[in-house]
Amino acid sequence: MPENQRLEREKRTVEAMIGIYCQGHHQAEGLCPSCQELLDYALKRVNACKFGVEKPTCANCPVHCYKPDMRGQIRSVMRYSGPRMLFKHPGMAIRHMLP
């Protein structure tokens, strides 16, 4: 798979997960400011990842590029959104779980 497609899929996945989390916790129209900040940060980190196309999932990555507070926030998002992704975005969820 070309590099751009893989990284773009990663960005769409994190955006979907943050959207699910925000809708479930903040009931905002679109993303609330704190969730938008987290999304902007996550996209910046994906773009800056030194592994590029070989980027592992964050849970399997040897380098933790998120600041501790942001890492805690994204963990909460993934813990909440992960199971719900199967219902809202099943194809995306399955592709995210595959290596």
* Structure confidence by residue, pLDDT tens digits, 16-64: 999 999 999 998 788 999 999 999 999 999 888 888 777 777 767 788 8
pTM: 0.85
pLDDT at 19: 94
Which of 29, 35, 37 minimizes the C-alpha distance to 17?
35
**What distance in Å separates the CA atoms of residue 80 and residue 75, rounded to the nearest whole number?**
9
Write out the H or E segment, with its range, that includes residue 71. helix 68-88
Range of the domain at 31: 3-97
- For residues 12 and 92, the answer to whether their CB atoms sit within 8 Å is yes
- Write the CA distances from 40 to 35, 45, 94, 95, 99, integer angstroms: 9, 9, 24, 22, 24
Which of 95, 70, 94 minimizes the C-alpha distance to 18?
70
Number of domains the chain is built from: 1
